[in-house]
């Protein structure tokens, strides 16, 4: 049942220490259920890390294919020794062994990234020119996959997802001094409990450069300063977040956009047929035209339709999609925006995401 967001009391805390960490870390949660789910993950990870000295392909049983592209594939697998299910991302890298080893070392940084808003990282290994990245299996898919199933997200769902994403971005900056650099719906995963988490952030410059060709459409979400080759900061992620929120809320990618005339895709029920892709405008622009729109065009906005979008949501997107990066709000500022911190209708995220699944 949807209700009003209650003023938060003292956060629930969980102190964790994994075998790869030299110090303990305290993680905060809003609910007891979220705390228990994360605690189960921490225990699973500790058991997994304590069961192996060196990982090989033979340590896993394949469950099913989750996704495939030119640069690699993602499989759901089960670790034989512990029975832990996880997502195994295979990325083909045509690089020298020394660089491959460096990438693995940099990926180990992810062991220190412990947050309920970041996809969990179990470890990595390489085999025959492939980097194998072992991650938490987010069993409801990525937000772009969910979008194809539902047409568009209700504002209440957008708000909850956005709050989790901003918390994740804030954690990356404050604890690891990391800029995500690739915020888009396909890099936000969600599980059947309704928890949205970030994945594929740029910890390793070598890794990002090596697999850039696998990120189809990434440039579309880049902030103007990145497209034009200027220096960028964490605020560049804020622009990408705003673009993603418009796309989720309307069902349509918003660039190029003519004023406030962006079409809104009708929401679908689980029983409606799923189209091959979310509706897109006719005559899609070339890459050059798209980049020109990002740098020189008017910033995208949510349609001014009060019966669909609140004034707070429209303003939130506007402060995200500000051309001047210095004038753009920071992640900390976004957490204090009324669209996120005010009292609002709070949906049952678990019930909603389960309603989008066909099996």
Catalytic pick among 59, 182, 200, 237? 182
The bridge status of strand 196-198 relative to strand 130-135 is unpaired
Residue indicated by tokens 């999609």: 321
Transcribe 140-162 into DSSP letters.
T-BHHHHHHHHSS--HHHHHHHH
CA distance linking residue 344 with residue 271, whole number of Å: 28
Of 348, 354, 356, 358, the C-alpha closest to 157 is 348
Classify residue 63 by burial, with Cβ atoms within 10 Å: 0-12, 13-18, 19+. middle
CA distance linking residue 355 with residue 359, whole number of Å: 10
- Say how many C-beta atoms besides its own lie within 10 A of residue 72's C-beta: 18
- Say how many C-beta atoms besides its own lie within 10 A of residue 306's C-beta: 9
CA distance linking residue 247 with residue 320, whole number of Å: 14
Residue indicated by tokens 């049952």: 348
Of 358, 359, 305, 315, the C-alpha closest to 336 is 315
CA distance linking residue 310 with residue 315, whole number of Å: 9
CA distance linking residue 27 with residue 7, whole number of Å: 20
Q: SS3 of 302, please?
A: coil
Of 218, 308, 323, the C-alpha closest to 267 is 308
- The CA dihedral of 61, 62, 66, 70, to the nearest 10 degrees, is 110
Q: Active-site residue 182, yes or no?
A: yes
CA distance linking residue 234 with residue 67, whole number of Å: 29
CA distance linking residue 174 with residue 168, whole number of Å: 10
Are the C-beta atoms of residues 211 and 93 closer than 8 Å to each other? yes
Catalytic machinery residues? 182
């Amino acid at each position: 049942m949807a209700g009003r967001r209650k003023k938060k009391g003292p956060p629930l805390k969980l102190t964790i220490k994994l075998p790869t960490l030299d110090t303990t870390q305290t993680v905060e949660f809003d609910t007891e259920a979220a705390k228990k789910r994360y605690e189960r993950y921490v225990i699973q990870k500790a058991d997994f890390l304590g069961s192996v000295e060196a990982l090989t392909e033979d340590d896993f049983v394949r469950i099913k294919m989750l996704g495939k592209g030119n640069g690699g594939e993602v499989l759901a697998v089960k670790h034989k020794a512990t029975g832990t299910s996880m997502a195994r991302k295979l990325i083909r890298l045509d690089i020298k062994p020394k660089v491959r080893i460096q990438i693995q070392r940099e990926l180990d940084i992810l062991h220190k990234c412990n947050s309920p808003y970041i996809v969990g990282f179990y470890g990595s290994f390489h085999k025959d020119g492939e980097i194998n990245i072992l991650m938490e299996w987010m069993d409801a898919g990525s937000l772009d996959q969910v979008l194809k199933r539902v047409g568009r997200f209700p504002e209440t769902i957008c708000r909850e997802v956005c709050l989790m994403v901003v918390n994740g971005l804030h954690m990356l900056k404050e604890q690891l001094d990391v800029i995500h650099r690739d915020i888009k719906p396909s890099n936000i995963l969600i599980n059947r409990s309704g928890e949205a988490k970030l994945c594929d952030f740029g910890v390793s410059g070598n890794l990002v450069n090596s697999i850039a060709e696998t990120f189809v459409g990434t440039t579309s979400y880049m902030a103007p300063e990145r497209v034009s080759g200027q220096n960028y900061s964490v605020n560049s992620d804020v622009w990408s977040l705003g673009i993603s929120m418009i796309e989720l809320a309307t069902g349509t990618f918003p660039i190029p956009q003519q004023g406030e005339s962006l079409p809104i895709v009708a929401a679908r029920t689980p029983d409606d047929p799923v189209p091959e892709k979310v509706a897109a405008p006719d005559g899609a622009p070339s890459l050059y035209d798209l980049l020109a729109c990002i740098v020189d065009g008017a910033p995208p906005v949510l349609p001014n339709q009060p019966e669909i979008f609140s004034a707070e949501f429209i303003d939130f997107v506007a402060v995200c999609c500000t051309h001047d990066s210095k004038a753009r709000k920071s992640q900390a500022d976004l957490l204090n925006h009324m669209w996120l911190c005010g009292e609002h209708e709070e949906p049952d995220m678990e019930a909603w995401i389960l309603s989008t699944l066909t099996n």
